[in-house]
Structure 1
Amino acid sequence: MFWVLFLLTAWAGALLSCARLLSAATDDAPPATGGATAHHHDELTLYEVAYLAGGPRRVADLTLLSMERRRRLLLTRTGWATVLDPVGRDPLERAALDAFGPDGQSPVESVRTAVAAHEAVRALAGRLGEAGLALPEDARAGVASGVEAVRGASALILVMAAASLVVPSGGASPTFIMCWFALPLILTLGCLAIARVESHPYSAWASPAGQRLLTALDRERGRGRGEPLVAVAVHGVRALGDPDLRAALSCGNRGTLPRQREY
């Protein structure tokens, strides 16, 4: 009957990890406030929409795309950006311009990283958090940690199930034993499925109130069709219809050195 000990271990891991995830998802969630429920999605700026939908890097992508559309930056599919107008109209644009070198050229990823880490983005996140629309950092970390714990428990269950097949079973058939181990596995996989549904696509950054605003905006704007800035704010770079811009904003850390014209 050694397999029973393995089963108890599997159940302990499943119950503790699921309880941890549930606690993180409920206790750390920001309380519903009058300010959060009073918001309408039309009151959000595109920068705020981008943060709620994709976090600081989405804000940086939106900043670069907005400057490109106003002919203030040139983005190339090689992953480099060139300054055309060195005057920033808002703190985020100034943060982007500060990331460029003296020659006015820089890899897109370097500019994106600088903007995402800028104080202006932190201030934006703080305002959304105070309004009850964005999750605080500790809440995001708690949910992520809870999900990892449940995944670990799922792996533990599989290991315990495999171990139970190689120890004396006391007459119990392998099928009978596996049926018992299936129960805690169903629990953990069910928790992971629920967490995925609840977190898709916004809850890594947006609170439930923020998610509702994003859903309303997405529904009203028809997933941002015809409005590239709205599409990128809500869905990210993959929503861009222009393949050159999509390639420019999707390049890696260094980009590709632009080819020099030969004379």
Structure 2
Amino acid sequence: MLWVIFLLVAWGAAVVSCTQLCLAAVAAAQAADPGPAADGKVLSLYEAAFLSGGPRRVGDLTLVTMYRERRLLLAHTGWVTVVDPDGRDDLERSLINAIGPEGQSPVRPARAALATAAPVRDLADRLVAAGLAVPASARTNVAVAVRQVRAAGALVLVTAAAALLLVPPAGGRGAVAAWFALPLLLTASCLLIARVEAYPYSRWASPAGQRLLGRFGTPPRRAAAQRSGGGAGDGADGELLTAFALRGPAALPDPALRAALKAHWGH
């Protein structure tokens, strides 16, 4: 009956990890509870970029905006060069400072520095306070809990294999396998539910933020976003920046520009 010890270990890991995931998902839902005016808010382009792709998307949008306005150069090798050192808003000024006094830097360290700059933190804080963005702690807790459930599922398989080795072929291995199938089913079901229910809370945007993003591409919203700031221009250029804020580098028609944003450090 030594296999019962392995069964208890499997059940314990499954129950504890699934309980932690449920608690993390509930906490994330409560943390992302929107205010009464959240659904009526008009997102700026920077806000839409943050809700779609986080601080990195905001940094990329700042780079692409200044590049499109010929105020900096982006090489396909992954280097950025400042042409106009006078930023038009706090994000642009922070990016110029991150590039450094020489006016040239690899894209990735400059973007990483901008992601932790005060203007990006303030943007995130405003969106979290409005219930449109998920707090960093909630995203982390859900992600950690999901990894724990996956690890528990793997542990169930290992303990099941070890238990089956302890049971002789004539000793009812089928019954033992059935007992281990239950905690395995529990972890698999919990992961499936998390994929459907908790997954939105692991993104940057809360459900309310995602609803606003879904309406952001309509012309009235784009016009309001351009009036409220965020680097969007008029016409085709504004359309491109809007698409980039929502979809990232995949929205860029220029392969050299996509390469500049994806190039490795120092290349």
Q: RMSD of aligned C-alpha atoms? A: 2.3
Q: Give the match for residue 45 of structure 1.
A: 44
Q: Give the match for residue 35 of structure 1.
A: 37
Q: Give the match for residue 246 of structure 1.
A: 258
Q: Give the match for residue 17 of structure 1.
A: 17
Shift of 1:195: 2.6
Structure whose residues are more often helix by fraction? 2
Shift of 1:202: 7.3
Q: Give the match for residue 145 of structure 2.
A: 146
Contact persistence 1:7–1:160 (CA under 8 A): yes
Shift of 1:169: 5.5
**Matched AA of 1:204:** R
Contact persistence 1:203–1:211 (CA under 8 A): no
Task: Return the alpha-carbon distance in structure 1 between the equivalents of residues 72 and 260 of structure 2.
Answer: 12
Are residues 1:230 and 2:242 paired?
yes
**Matched AA of 1:174:** R
Task: Return the alpha-carbon distance in structure 1 between the equivalents of residues 195 and 116 of structure 2.
Answer: 27
Contact persistence 2:139–2:201 (CA under 8 A): no
Unpaired runs of 5+ residues, structure 2, are 223-235
Shift of 1:67: 0.8
Q: Deviations over 1:117-157 (max 9, x none)?
A: 10000000111011111111221121122112111111211
Residue 55 of structure 1 aligns to a residue whose secondary structure is helix
Task: Return the alpha-carbon distance in structure 2 between the equivalents of residues 189 and 228 of structure 1.
Answer: 41
Q: Deviations over 1:67-113 (max 9, x none)?
A: 11111111111001111111100100001111223332110112101
**Matched AA of 2:50:** Y
Q: What is the TM-score when the length of structure 2 is the normalising length? A: 0.84
Unpaired runs of 5+ residues, structure 1, are 257-263
1:98-247 equivalences in 2 (<5 Å): 98-168=97-167, 171-198=170-197, 203-217=202-216, 220=218, 227-247=239-259
Residue 87 of structure 1 aligns to a residue whose secondary structure is coil
Residue 81 of structure 1 aligns to a residue whose secondary structure is strand
Residue 5 of structure 1 aligns to a residue whose secondary structure is helix
Q: Deviations over 1:199-219 (max 9, x none)?
A: 65774222221122223336x
Residue 138 of structure 1 aligns to a residue whose secondary structure is helix
Task: Return the alpha-carbon distance in structure 2 between the equivalents of residues 152 and 215 of structure 1.
Answer: 35
**Matched AA of 2:35:** T
Contact persistence 1:147–1:192 (CA under 8 A): yes
1:20-99 equivalences in 2 (<5 Å): 20-29=20-29, 30=31, 31-39=33-41, 43-99=42-98
Task: Return the alpha-carbon distance in structure 1 between the equivalents of residues 206 and 129 of structure 2.
Answer: 11
**Matched AA of 2:251:** A
**Matched AA of 1:151:** R
